[in-house]
């Protein structure tokens, strides 16, 4: 919702935004986060990046308020600090310059770029504009900022609770709430559905929807258990992805989906997997693999049949589309016979759609994300 609102606001103000962008100021800060017992590398990264955003936005906000000599419009209405904060957040770009993780400490250095004049122009436009739509957009931006602040406070409270909890059930409950609160400060909505059944006693399907769609500047990582890689989905060209599905071996207990954005930020969500029932594939009669395709509009489904036995894995499927491509990389943590389902801004029924596969050159299955 926030991304949509930002798009509306920025569309209204494109002229002002690009007129002075050459004069954008840069602010560089670093932040060190000490992980709690409930944290992983991913959650530590999300928290560290969010905190550095807070620091940088506070700094540029102070600068904006200093430059804003007139805080009252023609009707005598004061321009509220929350208006300044909400609009400033929509006119900034944060890049990761450096990050390090040693298993306990996450260090992050980032740069924020913003044009003070662009923000001032935007604030002036909002002061003068009386349309109901713009008022609603601004209120929604402020509501989102309030939700972020509430999520940050919940995270602080839960970190304290986790230290003091003794009962394992209470710890697990608090940890789950903690992860959900961290997801609240991620910028992309990731909805995961994992059915309770297990296919053939070996694999579990998963279904993931993204709002907004994942673009060619982003990558989707599907992780299992202790954040070990199973799938990587990489759209390119003009291709975007609103849905991905696949199958994973069901022995890991947890599924995590991460979207890594071009600016270095990450969004994530987790889901539990069904109980452990696992049996090995036996060696097949042929040393080959092929993918069968079924296309329905912007839905493309592929079943890859692996006849290479227990020692052979399909590691890559490269899908060529009229408007770009999708590279799907897999590790042995994925199904032996991967089922892929992708949905996006393409016409999969077009005759130009085709795929190629590579086998046994997969990335390390034990590699931690």
240/291 same-domain check: yes
CA dist 157 and 177 (Å) reads: 11
Q: Could you tell me the CATH number of the domain that includes residue 180?
A: 3.10.129
- The predicted model gives 129-136 an average pLDDT of 62
Q: How confident is the model over 318-359, as pLDDT tens digits?
A: 888 888 899 999 888 888 788 888 988 888 776 555 555 555
Q: Is residue 367 part of a domain?
A: no
pLDDT of residue 160: 81
Q: Does the pLDDT value for residue 305 go beyond 70?
A: yes
157/247 same-domain check: no
pLDDT of residue 212: 73
179/198 same-domain check: no
pTM: 0.55
- The predicted model gives 218-241 an average pLDDT of 91
112/162 same-domain check: yes
37/61 same-domain check: yes
pLDDT of residue 136: 64
CA dist 206 and 82 (Å) reads: 40
Tokens of 129: 């504009």
pLDDT of residue 234: 95
Q: Is residue 366 part of a domain?
A: no
**Which residues, including other chains, have CB under 8 Å from residue 282's CB and lie 6 or more apart?**
309, 310
126/198 same-domain check: no
Q: What is the mean pLDDT of the chain?
A: 73
CA dist 190 and 207 (Å) reads: 10
136/206 same-domain check: no
Please, where are the H alpha helices in 68-185?
81-90, 116-128, 132-164, 168-184
pLDDT of residue 354: 54
What length is written for the chain? 369
The whole domain housing 229 covers: 189-359
pLDDT of residue 132: 64
346/285 same-domain check: yes
Between 365 and 173, whose confidence is greater?
Answer: 173
Q: What is the DSSP string of 7-23?
A: HHHHHHTHHHHHHSGGG
Least confident segment among 148-162, 210-224, 330-344? 148-162
pLDDT of residue 140: 65
Helix (H, G, I), strand (E, B) or coil at 277: coil
- Name the most confidently modeled range: 45-59, 233-247, 291-305: 233-247
Least confident segment among 87-91, 192-196, 224-228, 309-313? 309-313
Residue given tokens 């990335």 in the structure block: 363
Q: Is residue 364 part of a domain?
A: no
């Amino acid at each position: 919702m926030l991304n949509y609102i930002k798009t509306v606001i920025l569309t209204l103000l494109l002229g002002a935004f690009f007129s002075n962008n050459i004069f954008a100021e840069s602010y560089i800060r670093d932040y060190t986060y000490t992980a709690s017992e409930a944290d992983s590398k991913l959650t530590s990264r999300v928290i560290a990046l969010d905190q550095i955003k807070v620091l940088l936005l506070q700094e540029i906000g102070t600068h904006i308020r200093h430059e804003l000599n007139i805080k009252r419009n023609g009707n005598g209405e004061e321009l509220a600090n929350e208006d300044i904060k909400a609009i400033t957040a929509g006119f900034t770009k944060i890049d990761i310059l450096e990050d390090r993780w040693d298993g306990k400490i996450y260090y992050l250095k980032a740069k924020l770029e913003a044009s003070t004049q662009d923000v001032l122009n935007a604030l002036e436009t909002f002061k003068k504009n009386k349309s109901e739509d713009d008022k609603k957009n601004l209120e929604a931006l402020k509501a989102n900022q309030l939700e972020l602040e509430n999520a940050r406070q919940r995270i602080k409270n839960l970190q304290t609770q986790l230290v003091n909890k003794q009962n394992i059930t209470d710890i697990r409950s608090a940890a789950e709430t903690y992860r959900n609160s961290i997801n609240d400060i991620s910028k992309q909505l990731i909805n995961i559905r994992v059915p309770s059944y297990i296919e053939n006693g070996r694999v579990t399907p998963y279904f993931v929807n993204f709002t907004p769609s994942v673009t060619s500047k982003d990558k989707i990582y599907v992780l299992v258990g202790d954040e070990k890689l199973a799938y990587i989905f990489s759209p390119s060209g003009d291709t975007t992805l609103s849905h991905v599905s696949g199958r994973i071996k069901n022995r890991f207990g947890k599924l995590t989906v991460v979207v890594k954005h071009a600016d270095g930020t990450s969004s994530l969500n987790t889901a539990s997997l069904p109980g452990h029932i696992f049996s090995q594939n036996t060696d097949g009669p042929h040393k080959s693999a092929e993918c069968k395709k079924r296309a329905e509009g912007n839905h493309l489904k592929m079943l890859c049949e692996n006849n290479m036995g227990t020692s052979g894995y399909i590691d890559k499927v490269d899908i060529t589309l009229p408007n770009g491509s999708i590279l799907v990389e897999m590790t042995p943590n994925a199904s032996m016979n991967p089922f892929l389902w992708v949905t996006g801004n393409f016409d999969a029924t077009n005759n130009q759609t085709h795929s190629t596969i590579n086998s046994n050159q997969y990335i390390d299955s034990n590699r931690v994300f």
